[in-house]
Structure 1
Amino acid sequence: MLRAVNYAQLLIPDFSLILCGYLVCRYTPLNRTVWQPVESLVYYLLFPVLLFQSIVKSPIDVGEATGLVVAGVGTLLCGVALAYSLPHLPWLGRRIDRRDHAAAAQVAFRFNSYLVLALAERLAGAQGLLMVAVLIGVCVPLVNVAAVWPMARGGQRGFWGELLRNPLIIATATGLVANALGLRIPGWLEPAVGRIGAASLALGLMAAGAGMQFGLLRRGKLLSASVLSIRHVALPLIAWAWVLLLGLDATQAQALMVFCAVSTASSCYVLTARMGYNGAYVAGLVTLSTALGVLSLPFGLGLLR
């Protein structure tokens, strides 16, 4: 069983880059005027290339993991429903800012796919890696659509227009089509594409740190607690229920739990900032979620005993 300390070690690079971006932005001449163009570069070029590469590099055979896909999609749909319902709860709805909720809802159901891949390989080897690759390929379009919807609607923007222009969704859709057609990135191009992907992770995390304003988390304490509770408590419990309901084998159960118990996606901040919402608030939520993942992953895997 993976220990919390091992998971913490995997998170150290992410934490370090977020902290580096925060310190550089606050205490050097490289202030927000520098980091805003960086956000655009990550959102419109670097992250889409990374998503496309992640999806096309391994064949996806959904038929071999139908139960796992049903469980993963079912868990995420429950997370989306819980996140969307927060403004409509009688004891909570009047106490949260609707615009902040539109931006923060995605934190409750998006996932850090790179941590998922790393942890699945450590836990279950090549078979675990294949299982989570199937989950990521199927679920990335779902969570991206669910993330864009509240912000497109709340900003009075056309939902389908925003969806069709969203570079993360375009990259995911084209990656799935290329994978289905058996297309691969040529070997001579892979090193360059890999470097672009690595740059997207580093710059995206540093941009999230540069945009952080922890005071905003205090302003939305109730909303913050709600979305993080869904991400780190409700989703592992729902995933466990699917494991019992469908009778998933050990490898699939571990893959599903890793998928549903890790921290939220660092790209939540990039999407929020580019759609004109409170990116600093969401950057703080991403940082807290990264820390809480150290607890939620052992909790989720412990449920499988």
Structure 2
Amino acid sequence: MNYAQLLFPDFSLILCGYLVCRYTALDRSVWEPVEGLVYYFLFPVLLFQSIVRNPLDLAATSGLIGAGLLMGVAGIALAYSVPWWPWIGRHVDAREHAGAAQVAFRFNSFIALALAERLAGGPGLALIAVLIGVSVPLYNVAAVWPMARHANTGFLRALLRNPLIIATLLGLAANLAGLRIPVWLEPTFGRIGGASLALGLMAAGAGMQLGPLGRAKALAFALLSIRHLLIPLTAFGLARLFRLDPVQTTVLLAFSALPTASSCYVLAARMGYNGPYVAGMVTLSTVLGVASLPFALGLLR
């Protein structure tokens, strides 16, 4: 599989947003309202649709669910532990870490869905949907917690006001209750989801400044190492521990090596953190996915 070709659309949209913001009249004054639209409406609709689309068969996939949740907990713990790492921790600014820690464990759901379908067809798509459904609440809560705690805004209040978490919980409740999006509404939801991906990635590019990456290189190195090396290795060990079948192992390893979520930038920016720094890491993570996906699916599998 050509991973560079799979990731190119995301990378090109980030680059497009960067160039449009820097070299046309569509400057930051245009993109700030776009970030609000993506964060409060487009991304929540996308999350809801992704979770409701396929029924969650919790019994048949209990091993995969267990491995996926443990992998998520391990990634979150590693991301939170960075300030205490030898040599690296002393160079990490607490506020930068609070806004950027999410980069280490969150994932690009659109690439996940496309990759699973190419790797394992319909069964792979169903399995990745299960992983997305059970992982998104955990990851979103873990992303919000350090930012809310560091900003002293109140963790519970931040959760209750976070549209991504609200959409995820509603999607899980609807899925488990057997509810589905009506057929006549599916095209509308699909187009909103497509718009969220394009505008979210372009907004990340518009907000990107590579300068902050140079000032916090240690943090970027640690978080991207977790995302693209340590989490795939953890997934490999968990696949063996849970004795997953070949299709489930393939899906778990692909899930472990995905680029980080483009919405990391939007979440950090809307909560008052260093959005350009996070956008730079989103870009680097997209590029690194070209290496981490073959590593996970080739060497580890």
Per the normalisation by structure 1, the TM-score is 0.97
Answer whether contact 1:109 1:264 (CA < 8 A) is retained: yes
Aligned to 1:65: 61
Q: How many residues are treated as equivalent by the alignment?
A: 301
Q: Percentage identity across aligned positions?
A: 68
1:253 is paired with a residue whose SS is: helix
Task: State the Cα deviation string for residues 192-241 of structure 1 (Å, max 9, x = none).
Answer: 11111111111000000000000110000000000000000000000000
Secondary structure of 2:182's aligned partner: coil
How many Å apart are 1:66 and its aligned residue? 0.7
Question: Is there any run of 5+ residues in structure 1 with no aligned partner, and where?
Answer: none
State how far apart, in whole Å, the 2-side matches of 1:90 and 1:149 are.
Answer: 24
Match of 2:193 in 1: 197
Q: Deviations over 1:78-136 (max 9, x none)?
A: 11001101112343322111111001100000011111111111111111111111110
- C-alpha RMSD over aligned residues: 0.9
CA distance in structure 2 between the aligned counterparts of 1:172 and 1:245, rounded to whole angstroms = 29
Check the 8 A contact 1:23/1:210 in 2, yes or no: yes
| TM-score calculated relative to the size of structure 2 | 0.98
Residue 178 (structure 1) aligned with residue 179 (structure 2): no
Residues in 2 aligned to 1:246 and 1:303: alpha-carbon distance in whole angstroms = 19
Instruction: Give the match for residue 165 of structure 2.
Output: 169
1:282 aligns with 2:297: no
* Cα distance in 2 for residues equivalent to 1:78 and 1:192: 37
- Does the aligned pair in 2 maintain the 1:111–1:262 contact within 8 Å? yes
Indicate which of 134, 139, 145 corresponds to 1:138. 134
Q: Counterpart amino acid of 2:168? A: T
SS in 1 for 2:180: coil
Q: Is this contact kept in 2: 1:253–1:304, CA < 8 A?
A: no
Q: Which moved more, 1:111-120 or 1:279-288?
A: 111-120
Distance in 1 (CA, whole Å) between partners of 2:125 and 2:78 is 28
After TM superposition, the runs of 4+ consecutive aligned structure 1 residues lying more than 3 A away are: none
The equivalent residue for 1:51 is: 47
The answer for the alignment partner of 1:206 in structure 2 is: 202
Alignment of 1:256 with 2:252, yes or no, is: yes
The amino acid of 1:292's aligned partner reads L
Decide which of 89, 92, 99 is 1:96's aligned counterpart: 92
> Residue 110 of structure 2: which of 100, 110, 114 is its match?
114
Shift of 1:191: 1.1
* 2-structure distance, mates of 1:90, 1:232: 20
